[in-house]
Amino acid sequence: MSYSSLEACLVDLERNGHLIRIKEEVDPYLEMAAIHLRVYEAKGPALLFENVKGSRFRAASNIFGTLERSKFIFRDTIELVQQLIELKGDPMKAIKSPFSNFKVGLAALKALPLKNPYSKPVLYEEINISSLPLIQHWPKDGGAFVTLPQVYTEDIDQPGIMKSNLGMYRIQLSGNEYQLNKEIGLHYQLHRGIGVHQKKANAKGQSLKVSCFVGGPPAHTLSAVMPLPEGISEMTFAGVLGGRRFRYTYQDGFAISTDADFVITGEVYPGENKPEGPFGDHLGYYSLEHSFPLMRVHKVYAKKNAIWPFTVVGRPPQEDTSFGELIHEITGAAIPQEIPGLKEVHAVDAAGVHPLLLAVGSERYTPYSPTKQPAELLTIANHILGTGQLSLAKFLFISADDTNQLHASDVKAFMIYLLERIDFNRDLHFYTNTTIDTLDYSGTGLNSGSKVVLAAYGEQKRVLQNEAPSLFNDLNEFVNPQLPMPGVICLSAKSFKDYFTAKEEMKLLNFQLIEKLDLFKGIALIVVCDDSAFTAATMNNYLWVTYTRCNPSHDIYGIDVHVDNKHWGCKGPLVIDARIKPHHAPPVEKDPIVEQKINRLFEKGGSLYSIA
């Protein structure tokens, strides 16, 4: 289905039972986000808010709330896009099979952006930032944010749409020190194309022109989050995925997406920053207040009857999970083509995506050797950690399976397979004092922390236990042993005080266990946490707590540790200290008063009674 606008998509969703209209007045301060979260948790439909308090514009959310709905939106183009991606990996396919690839060639014609000087619906009227639905999502957020922006910038040395960058970087519209209607905050993280553009503009002492598109055909939104190879324009991808060329023009020197519902234009000047945040983010914690680029607002445009799309992020899974699933559906074959030997890679959503990455590779270096140990896997691991946003991975678990039965997408089965085979004396490889995800506060500072690769290959070394060995009931300072999965035991401990105290606590744990290793050979990993019952209650809890609250270089210990020629290892189980640390950001939590207030919509007579 080729949509010319966001409204066309929403009408199609409603016609096919994928959308509900909310006619009651709803407050953009916490209420709209709370409604979205409750509907998403119920696997409910997309929502169209027709009466937003304080704004004359409608708003829509949960558009991509399920993989099924996301695939429905792109049902007519998704297979062609997949074929185009495959052809990039093997262009000879088009030559060998010209007739079977004919449709792909026609689809590719939609890739060329269309400069559209006549039809400019988004320029229907000029408005102020204060006219928009100023949605605050979580109680401790610094203000209202745009959560589905398409932020457009151009290369000052190579201007024009084909060398431009379109990314989804959150925008703070109000709060903090921002002058309403005049200034907004532009937050972007590591490995983002906008950073290259700003650096070039700064070097010339010039401002960077920024256009923030909101709404428009859904292909535009998805294109802003696509991890495209360098040199491929997001606008060309949007054209192919949407089955409609990306239409644009220029106004006052700013690029304008003419099909967008709203466009905010402005400039970022060298050295001008202001505090941005906090913001309840997709790791399930608040990203805290930090200095980020200040964008001076030039003009704000809106089309007639414009609709403001938004989403809510928090502890995964959330709507952005469906984004990730759809991206994997579209590009699943692309990454293995770019990294030799890599068969599959999976960013674990339950752990916040970047904190935990699982990969299946190959081992072909020494087929003549009777000893099976990681070799090619280490080469692949280094390649992964040097590739785009994959480089933000904090924990990389990588293994190989000669029978081709192992799949990174089956998280529990993959981790069991790896823990059965890993040699903790040999198979841990640390990267210290390095860059990590901006939103990950487990490290030593903003963007700073460590990484670790756990690479395992070979014969099974241990049979993982399904019950906690009795000796774990008799430990001092470590209580309530619980198993979230075979071979992994969670222990509650006192709240984290400081790293000196933590090291002493881990020495005590080591002292109590080092002479008894034979009694728990089936335990490969010990997780020290604040609440072992909560951590072990579900696989998702275990993944979230363990991998979002650990800085590998500081928080990984082991039973019977050895350091040989600067290589760290342990004979017994690995120990991860996954307690909340004083420098960690607080987790996001719902407001109980707001939860009570939105019950009216889910009660009899309310717009959302059918999904209560």
Is 149 in the same domain as 203? yes
CATH for 441? 3.40.1670.10
Tell me which amino acid residue 560 is: D
* 463 within some domain: no
Structural domain ending residue among the three candidates 310, 338, 368: 310
479 forms beta bridges with: 492
Which are the contacts of 284, defined by CB distance < 8 A and separation ≥ 6?
A: 314, 315, 316, 352, 544, 548, 587, 588
pTM of the entire structure?
0.92
Tell me which amino acid residue 388 is: G
pLDDT at residue 225, as a whole number: 87
Residue 481 three-state SS: strand
How many structural domains compose the chain?
3
* 464 within some domain: no
- What's the CA gap between 166 and 161, in Å, rounded? 10
Is 343 in the same domain as 283? no
What region, left, alpha or beta, does residue 243 occupy, with left being phi > 0 and alpha being psi -120 to 50 degrees? Answer: left
Is 231 in the same domain as 288? yes
- What's the CA gap between 404 and 418, in Å, rounded? 14
Is 243 in the same domain as 339? no
Average of per-residue pLDDT across 261-271: 96
pLDDT at residue 126, as a whole number: 98
* 516 within some domain: yes
Is 537 in the same domain as 563? yes
Which of 540, 524, 439, 519 minimizes the C-alpha distance to 489? 524
- What's the CA gap between 435 and 449, in Å, rounded? 6
pLDDT at residue 21, as a whole number: 97
For the cut 60, the answer to whether the pLDDT of residue 99 exceeds it is no
Tell me the pLDDT tens digit for each residue of 399-419.
999 888 999 999 999 999 999
pLDDT at residue 116, as a whole number: 83
| CA 461 to chain centroid | 34
Grade residue 98 by pLDDT with cuts at 50, 70 and 90: very low
Grade residue 192 by pLDDT with cuts at 50, 70 and 90: low
Tell me the pLDDT tens digit for each residue of 157-177.
999 998 888 999 899 999 999
CATH for 210? 2.30.110.10
* 450 within some domain: yes
Gyration radius from the chain CA atoms:
25
pLDDT at residue 190, as a whole number: 53
For the cut 60, the answer to whether the pLDDT of residue 103 exceeds it is no
577 forms beta bridges with: 528
- What's the CA gap between 185 and 293, in Å, rounded? 6
Average of per-residue pLDDT across 136-156: 96
Is 272 in the same domain as 330? no
| CA 99 to chain centroid | 38
134 forms beta bridges with: none
For the cut 70, the answer to whether the pLDDT of residue 20 exceeds it is yes
CATH for 516? 3.40.1670
* 592 within some domain: no
Residue showing tokens 């559906």? 329
Strand duo 307-310 + 279-280: pairing: unpaired
Structural domain ending residue among the three candidates 434, 456, 478: 456
Tell me the pLDDT tens digit for each residue of 31-60.
999 999 999 999 999 999 999 999 999 999
Name the least confident of 191-195, 446-450, 490-494, 601-605.
191-195
Tell me the longest C-alpha to C-alpha distance in the chain.
80
In this structure, is the dihedral angle defined by the CA atoms of residues 336, 339, 345 and 348, taken in order, positive or negative? Answer: negative
Burial (Cβ within 10 Å: 0-12, 13-18, ≥19) of residue 341? middle
Tell me the pLDDT tens digit for each residue of 338-362.
788 999 999 999 999 889 999 999 9
Average of per-residue pLDDT across 97-112: 61
* 586 within some domain: no
Average of per-residue pLDDT across 469-477: 95
Grade residue 105 by pLDDT with cuts at 50, 70 and 90: low
% residues pLDDT > 70 (the chain):
94
Which are the contacts of 214, defined by CB distance < 8 A and separation ≥ 6?
A: 146, 148, 149, 150, 260, 261, 262, 263, 264, 308, 309
Structural domain ending residue among the three candidates 291, 310, 329: 310
pLDDT at residue 95, as a whole number: 42
| CA 65 to chain centroid | 15
DSSP letter string over 529-548? ES-HHHHHHSHHHHHHHHHH
Q: Element (H or E) spanning 221, and its range? A: helix 218-223
pLDDT at residue 102, as a whole number: 47
pLDDT at residue 94, as a whole number: 45
* 509 within some domain: yes
Strand duo 125-127 + 448-456: pairing: unpaired
Is 228 in the same domain as 124? yes
For the cut 90, the answer to whether the pLDDT of residue 194 exceeds it is no
Is 26 in the same domain as 67? yes
Q: Report the chain's mean pLDDT, rounded to a whole number.
A: 91
* 86 within some domain: no
pLDDT at residue 189, as a whole number: 67
For the cut 60, the answer to whether the pLDDT of residue 96 exceeds it is no
Which of 446, 419, 423 minimizes the C-alpha distance to 435? 446
Beta-sheet strand order (sheet of 58-61): 19-22, 46-49, 58-61, 307-310
Is 361 in the same domain as 303? no
Is 373 in the same domain as 246? no
DSSP 120: -
Is 559 in the same domain as 497? yes
| Domain with 481 in it | 470-577
Tell me which amino acid residue 606 is: G
Average of per-residue pLDDT across 83-101: 54
For the cut 70, the answer to whether the pLDDT of residue 552 exceeds it is yes
Is 428 in the same domain as 490? no
Pull the structure tokens for residue 381: 């691991």
Pull the structure tokens for residue 256: 């304008």
Cα angle 27, 32, 38; round to 5: 140
